[in-house]
A and B are shown apart, each in its own frame.
Chain A
């Protein structure tokens, strides 16, 4: 359509990247925070005790609670507090498939000592931040799955066409020309994208795979027909679940689950259990699956299957599977990165931050490139101003909104019913305000002021925490509370980084204004409306 293959691809890269850039920025930011969902959960429920119960005590407590709450449920799941993903004992019970093909799920966090749910403030926590990166908020999953799926697909197209556009991918990697306006933005965009291309491509493609059966339901019906439980049949076949037993209807009391631990630990060693799943509890067909911690990028791991009534070991699987399923599992497992230790999570986090910077710099580049032409016109186009405003409101505004979510967690009264909704509402209200702010301020001022606001919001967060909980900075050092200490430090670093950004922007903008005053007094007004990032 344009002359030449590479020019067409450059066009495709620009426009596919632009239309979904802001949503993807949101997805990347929240997905990044989701790398530390457990830690954020702990920070957002400061009342929660640190679990000290033994494994068998935890399992006993879980069984006791499930027996009283859900003796007739179809499945129970128990996550003992054995690793960083499960700092507290968690249980879930699920009912039978309902008419819509869903199951009713109930989740609880238990205190192993009392077998009662823990008492802590209602909060979406880090889990909600993580969940919003693939399910958004306020809209049903049926809609959000399509929306995120389409945006991610646009991103895949943007990546592939971007790679085609930059033929000199190796040379570009060593090219950075700072303080050269548009060229510097281009270099930044390209250097980072080259550096993290494998990660970027992996995270986008694997993210898409989560939505593949939503976007292409035909692939499922081609193999399984359009029957109602096609998805369920497919999953069972794929996972080679050999012990799916129909409920027999003959009541039989469930074996003592903590009694199975010896068998498990003799095979795996201590504290290797990821979860215990009981199907058809209190029925003669009951089965107990015990799953090993994830130790590779695959989603599956070793597992043991026991008879739920007699407690005999029935089957031992080493988590291997067909190559097709293995590939699928590894793709999804790589996206989640749950197998990783803390070091790997930080690597994931920083790669994701770079991803967000690539998206952000791409969005800024769009504006910077078109700015000279817009300045010649009397009034910039609506589209141009819209992109500028969305850039400020998203790149600087979303971090403010995330800070507001943390602030709300500490400031919304603990007793307020539905308080977790107010936490997340604060996030979106603040984001909306940040998006509208560029309407009333010149765009260059809006950038700087919003950056200052991010900085202030994060620098003050440790103070807010110290005033509203007993777990302040000094307390965290004294008790070696790594989660609270890390949160405080991370907030301070974020605040400082944004302060530096804001200072740099205003200095450069002043320099640009000063030069303009000297060289051409009459032009000063024009320069004032200039995007400060361009003056960089």
Chain B
């Protein structure tokens, strides 16, 4: 019995690790893309400068996202912490040009 339950917990541990990796890589990537697109549109700089600054920030944002995912207490918290900025910056990135932002 004990053996079976430890096997189960090992499996669930492995599934959790796999999910976290997936979340960190795919979720982190999408979150980074949403943020940098927003930055390109929102930064009050010339077009080429805004692109460069956002590009330079991308890896920092991605790194923070990955660390967030692995540091979070549970998966739900980790996912929520990525989803929120993604949605907010994604929407703002859409709205900004319409409102007549920097671009």
Interface residue ranges, A against B (CB under 8 Å): 1, 5, 8-9, 11-12, 153, 156-157, 160-161, 164, 205, 208-209, 212-213, 215-216, 218-220, 222-224, 234, 237-238, 322, 324-325, 327-328, 331
Contact = CB atoms under 8 A, between A and B. Distances in A.
Of the candidates A156, A212, A213, the one having the most CB atoms from chain B within 10 angstroms of its own CB is A212
B70 A324 contact: no
A475 B41 CA distance: 63
A325 B41 contact: no
Contact of A327 (B36, B47, B56, B72): B56
Given A11-B70, A216-B33, A223 B51 contact: yes
Interface string B45-80: 111111111111011001100110011100000000
Given A1-B20, A223-B47, A153 B37 contact: no
Given A12-B67, A157-B63, A222-B41, A324 B36 contact: no
Chain B interface residue count: which class? 20 to 34
B86 interface: no
B40 interface: yes
Contacts of A5: 71
A224 B67 CA distance: 31
Contacts of B50: 223, 324
Given A8-B71, A153-B59, A156-B63, A216 B32 contact: yes
B101 to A, nearest CB: 12
Contacts of A324: 45, 48-50, 52-53
A328 B56 CA distance: 8
A1 to B, nearest CB: 6
Given A223-B48, A234-B48, A325-B48, 12 more contacts: A9-B67, A156-B59, A213-B55, A219-B37, A222-B93, A223-B103, A224-B47, A237-B48, A238-B51, A238-B52, A325-B49, A327-B52
B83 interface: no
A331 B54 CA distance: 14
8 shortest interchain CB distances as A-B pairs: A324-B49, A222-B40, A237-B48, A238-B48, A223-B51, A222-B37, A212-B55, A12-B70
25 contacts: A8-B70, A12-B66, A153-B59, A153-B63, A156-B63, A157-B63, A157-B66, A209-B55, A212-B59, A215-B58, A216-B55, A219-B36, A219-B40, A219-B51, A222-B37, A223-B50, A234-B48, A238-B48, A322-B49, A324-B49, A324-B53, A325-B49, A328-B55, A328-B56, A331-B56
Nearest to A6: B71
B71 to A, nearest CB: 5
Contacts of B16: 1
A212 B55 CA distance: 6
A219 B54 contact: yes
B17 interface: yes
